Structure 1
Amino acid sequence: MNINPKAIRILCYGDSLTFGHDVETDTRFNALERWTGILQKTLGVNYEIIEEGLGGRTTDIDDPKKEGRNGLSYFQSCVMSQVPLDVIIILLGTNDLKSRFIRTPAQVADSFRKYKTAIEQACNKWNVRFPKVILVSPPIVDEDKIPHEWHMEGSGEKSKQLSKEYEKVAKEIGFEFVDIAPVVKVSTIDGTHLEKSSNVNIANLLSQKLL
């Protein structure tokens, strides 16, 4: 919590990339290694980063193998519990590429239209203004490195198409758009999670949208 009453409040909503999963140790990057923590340090005391990341979280799909991972189901409650918010950063989509969901990149992107509705409803409930929303397109995965038991066949090519689809939807619904793929490296161990150094690059890229 930032006790500065004038701090700009930023909700970072995502999956394990926001949680900060360290695939080398199978634990979590520490606060100053995660992109959220680096962003907080970069922005300073006049900003408050609210971290909300969960491994396996999807955009709007129930996962029969992982309970509580439907991102949309929790999102509105999350926003309502954190209002007022000045900015919401959403980084989701990689988990939607699991083959059991049979999703196209366009379908993944279209799910964020529901997020706009959820934000509007939360803001109307508390009579607060609609925040700036930054939709972030996730990294391109290295399918050859992804463990077979994750069942992400075809995810490599689909992940390459997400940026275009996200940008299109963002423009249509009034969200800002950021593509982190050009500035990050995924792990050579599992092909999906971030190399530690990429957290710095994400924070630097997002700070340009906020300062």
Structure 2
Amino acid sequence: MDNILVYSDSVSWGIIPDTRQRMTFAQRWPGVLEFHLNENHHNVRVIENCLNGRKTVWDDPFREGRRGVDGLAQVIEMHSPLQCVILMLGTNDFQETHDNKASMSAQGVAKLVSVIRNAPIEADMPVPKILIIAPVTIINPCGIIGYKFTGAEKRCAGYAKELEKVSHDLETLFLDANKWVKVSERDGIHLDEDQHLLLGKVVADFLSENKVLHSP
């Protein structure tokens, strides 16, 4: 069995836009990913580690435990052996509590890649492959958490391209979610259910086509 770890935030946690409710595993994209890979005769388990408000390397002044870099090495150790780690983070780096630019957040993801590759796994276990997914671009943040993202559209400009540069430099896999899915009009930050379905299928096809997993 190939274990895939999804390390992400509320977008992948499956928050229903403009609510505090959560989609079911079958509705959110990591669950769709698992279903489609197994449907295509891969033997796969998708492990979710997705935390609302998670950033790459920055603290949240109001909520504990939101630095994605903290404890990541132990998460890798905990779930090893892992065939692949999927990183889709950065959206919360652009909250109004931080004056981050796209290049700074991308360097945060670069730090996460380094932590994954240097995690204290057992000697006979593989260092997992890494897929960086550029999250959907924030557009017109609104609704019950929109105030947290005031001005985020400007701060996140060019983030996908910056992540692609990091991926190239660090020799990871890369996928830009913006080419297939878009944010919900209900909050401008998260994904509607149909977009989760689409993203899960896209990621499943990507992993298969790039031979990330063992052959069925």
- Amino acid aligned to 1:174: E
The worse-fitting range, judged by mean Cα deviation, of 165-174 and 182-191 is 182-191
C-alpha displacement of 1:65: 0.9
Deviation, 1:55, is: 0.5
Q: Match for 2:2 among 2, 5, 8?
A: 8
Q: Which amino acid aligns with 2:134?
A: S
Q: How many Å separate the matches in 2 of 1:204 and 1:14?
A: 18
Q: Paired residue for 1:110?
A: 107
CA contact (8 A) 1:146 1:152 kept: no
- Pick the aligned partner of 1:26 from 20, 26, 33: 20
Worse overlay, 190-199 or 180-189: 180-189
**TM-score (normalised: structure 2):** 0.88
Q: What root-mean-square deviation, in Å, do the aligned CA atoms of Structure 1 and Structure 2 show?
A: 1.7
What is the aligned partner in structure 1 of residue 187 from structure 2? 190
| Structure 1 pair 11–148 and aligned structure 2 pair: CA distance change class (3 A) | closer
1:205 and 2:202 are equivalent in the alignment: yes
SS at match of 2:183: coil
For structure 2, the 5+ residue unaligned runs are 209-216
For 1:55 and 1:169, the matched residues in 2 are separated by 24
- Asked if structure 2 preserves the Cα contact closer than 8 Å seen for 1:91 and 1:137, the reply is yes
Residue aligning to 1:3: none
**CA positional deviation for 1:144:** 5.0
The answer to whether the 8 A contact 1:139-1:159 is kept is no
**Is residue 74 from structure 1 mapped to residue 92 from structure 2 by the alignment?**
no
Percent identity, please: 29
Q: Give the aligned length.
A: 204
- 113, 119, 126: which one aligns with 2:122: 126
TM-aligned CA deviation for residue 64 of structure 1 = 1.0
Of 30-39 and 154-163, the range deviating more from structure 2: 154-163
- Larger mean CA deviation between 126-135 and 79-88 belongs to 126-135
Task: Please report how far the alpha carbon of residue 42 of structure 1 lies from its aligned counterpart in structure 2 after TM superposition.
Answer: 0.2
C-alpha change, 1:146 and 1:159, in structure 2 (3 Å) is: farther
Contact preservation (8 Å) 1:146, 1:192: no
Contact persistence 2:3–2:45 (CA under 8 A): yes
Q: Per-residue displacement from partner, 1:106-142 (whole Å, max 9, x unpaired)? A: 00001122222211221x5422222110001011112
Q: Which amino acid aligns with 2:5?
A: L
- Is structure 2 residue 24 aligned with structure 1 residue 37? no
* Contact map agreement 1:10 1:87 (CA 8 A) in 2: yes
Structure 1 equivalent of residue 158 of structure 2: 161
Q: How does 1:45-84 map onto structure 2 within 5 Å?
A: 46-84=43-81
Q: Conserved in 2, the CA contact under 8 Å of 1:105 and 1:165?
A: yes
1:200 is displaced (CA, Å) by 1.2
Residue matched to 1:173: 170
Residue type of the partner of 1:76? A
